[in-house]
Chain A
Amino acid sequence: MRNIYTLLFLCIGIQISNAQKSLTTEEISTFKSAVEKLDSNTQTIVSDFVQYKHLSFLSNDVETQGKLAFKVPGLVKWEYTSPYKYIVIFKDDKLFIDDEGDKSKIDIGSNKMFKGLNSLITNSVKGNMFDENAFEISYFKVDDFYLVKFIPKDENMLQFIAKFELKFDIKTSDVTEVKMIEPSEDYTKIIFKNKTRNTTLDEAVFNN
């Protein structure tokens, strides 16, 4: 009986390794160039998103939805629209928050955690975060997307994020999903929908 289970686990193991195929050095290089080219040609990004917070002990993931806007060099606006309204704008090293009318401002220039979070969020939206100094990076192909795993090297960051996973559409090289996995294996997953690049975006969108 035990042998049957061993065989079963082996089969599942093989299945998983088949589903997730590592990219060759050449494939990585082609893929990275495509992402970098897309990024360098990008002035603006607008997208809808759905965020799922997964906690092992919950019956259902906590689901929130909203809109995202990005403009070069580093203006980012996250607007949660459902089930509540909450806006965060990253601008000039500051974090502007509108929590259902309660407005506040955080200077992230002095806060390492927020600074790290800001650049991660910006880079993960763009997809271009292949910083070998900051992450141990591995590349896979799964079905019709590329999966890139980033393990932070920074000890402080490792405390709350064990791993990032970004999914890219094979055809467009654009990020479709971001997953932040905690050391406990609980995670936050953000899926982008209706993502468009280089539409006209007024600076006033980023005013709080």
Chain B
Amino acid sequence: MKRFLIINLFILCLFSSCAISTVKGLSEYDAEVTEFSNPYFANADIDYVYKTKIKAYNNDFGGILIIKKIKENNHRIVFTTNFGNKIFDFELINNEMKTHFIMKELDRKIIINTLKRDFQTLTQEHNKINKAFSDDEGHLIFQSKAEKRFNHYIVNQQTKKLTQIINTNHSKEKVILSFSNIKNSIAENINIQHLTAPIEINISYLSPQE
């Protein structure tokens, strides 16, 4: 009897762990493609420069976020104050992150890991599709494995544009990245909202000066 209960509990856990609210109740379909390509930081000729506001644990920071694709699977990510002083300077190469610089006050493993995950989710171009879903509101949802978590790429079926990336673990939504004002494969406004910590990042694209 005890063994039966344990097995049942295990099965229950297994099922509930798959029930992420992002795709709960949605119908799965066979995607013809095996990879989802995130277009927003994929052009190596563009300097992606964004005015940035970060709210974290009741602190406000303003600055400039600069993202550049160096080559395939390699992005440089720099955050500076408005005066130009660097706050951090990271480089993502494949799935590894190299820290070129980080302010002493922020040089903590938990902060670096959170930033790494956010920027990896934001910039990673090639994403292997695990499962594909569709909802009643005209979205396709591509689920992709991201280390111990999942990324869900929400695409508007009509416009074919990526509108959100929802990062989850097995049971909970963790981070939502929302893209708006999309022009020529550049998302001019991006909101990064953490659901399990009071962290919110808003960035708006600065068009190159003539």
In the complex, chain B residues 157-200 whose Cβ is within 8 Å of any chain A Cβ: none
Cβ B82 vs Cβ A64 within 8 A: yes
A31 to B60, CA, bound (A): 42
**In the complex with contacts A59-B47, A188-B83, A99-B53 CB distance below 8 A:** yes
**In the complex with contacts A57-B76, A99-B53, A102-B60, A88-B82 CB distance below 8 A:** yes
Q: Which residues of B contact A83 (CB under 8 A)?
A: 51, 206-207, 209
Cβ B84 vs Cβ A51 within 8 A: yes
Q: Which residues of A contact B64 (CB under 8 A)?
A: 53, 62
A103 to B120, CA, bound (A): 31
Cβ A180 vs Cβ B84 within 8 A: yes
Check if A63 is an interface residue, CB within 8 A of chain B.
yes
Q: Which of A62, A102, A182 contacts B66 (CB 8 A)?
A: A62
Contact with A along B8-30 (1 / 0, CB 8 A): 00000000000000000000000
Q: Which of A59, A62, A159 contacts B45 (CB 8 A)?
A: A59
Check if B89 is an interface residue, CB within 8 A of chain A.
yes
Closest residue on chain A to residue B105 by CB atoms: A113
Chain B interface size band reads: 20 to 34
A187 to B84, CA, bound (A): 8
Q: Which residues of B contact A97 (CB under 8 A)?
A: 60, 62
Closest Cβ of chain B to A192, distance in Å, is 15
In the complex, chain B residues 67-101 whose Cβ is within 8 Å of any chain A Cβ: 68, 70, 76, 78, 80, 82-86, 89, 100-101
Q: Which residues of B contact A99 (CB under 8 A)?
A: 53, 60, 62
Contact with B along A152-169 (1 / 0, CB 8 A): 000010011100000000
Q: Which of A53, A57, A84 contacts B80 (CB 8 A)?
A: A53
Closest residue on chain B to residue A51 by CB atoms: B84
Cβ A160 vs Cβ B84 within 8 A: no
Q: Which residues of A contact B85 (CB under 8 A)?
A: 117, 160-161, 180, 188
A159 to B105, CA, bound (A): 12
Q: Which of B68, B82, B84, B101 contacts A58 (CB 8 A)?
A: B68
| Chain B interface main SS type | strand
Check if B103 is an interface residue, CB within 8 A of chain A.
yes
Q: Which residues of A contact B62 (CB under 8 A)?
A: 86, 97, 99
Q: Which residues of A contact B78 (CB under 8 A)?
A: 55
Check if B49 is an interface residue, CB within 8 A of chain A.
yes
Check if A104 is an interface residue, CB within 8 A of chain B.
yes
A182 to B85, CA, bound (A): 9
A155 to B78, CA, bound (A): 23
Cβ B86 vs Cβ A160 within 8 A: yes
Q: Which residues of A contact B209 (CB under 8 A)?
A: 63, 82-83
Contact with B along A47-89 (1 / 0, CB 8 A): 0000101010111101110000000000000101011101010
Check if A30 is an interface residue, CB within 8 A of chain B.
no
Check if A184 is an interface residue, CB within 8 A of chain B.
yes
Residues of B within 8 A of A (CB): 45, 47, 49, 51, 53, 60, 62, 64, 66, 68, 70, 76, 78, 80, 82-86, 89, 100-101, 103-104, 204, 206-209
25 of the cross-chain contacts (CB-CB < 8 Å) are A53-B64, A53-B66, A55-B78, A57-B76, A58-B47, A59-B45, A62-B49, A62-B206, A78-B82, A78-B83, A80-B82, A82-B209, A88-B82, A97-B62, A99-B53, A104-B60, A121-B83, A159-B104, A160-B85, A160-B86, A160-B101, A161-B85, A184-B89, A184-B101, A188-B83
Residues of A within 8 A of B (CB): 51, 53, 55, 57-60, 62-64, 78, 80, 82-84, 86, 88, 97, 99, 102, 104, 117, 121, 156, 159-161, 180, 182, 184, 186, 188
Supply 8 further A-B pairs (C-beta < 8 A) apart from A53-B80, A57-B70: A53-B66, A62-B47, A78-B83, A83-B51, A88-B82, A104-B60, A117-B85, A160-B103
Nearest 9 pairs between A and B by C-beta? Answer: A188-B84, A53-B84, A99-B62, A58-B47, A63-B209, A83-B206, A84-B51, A104-B60, A57-B76
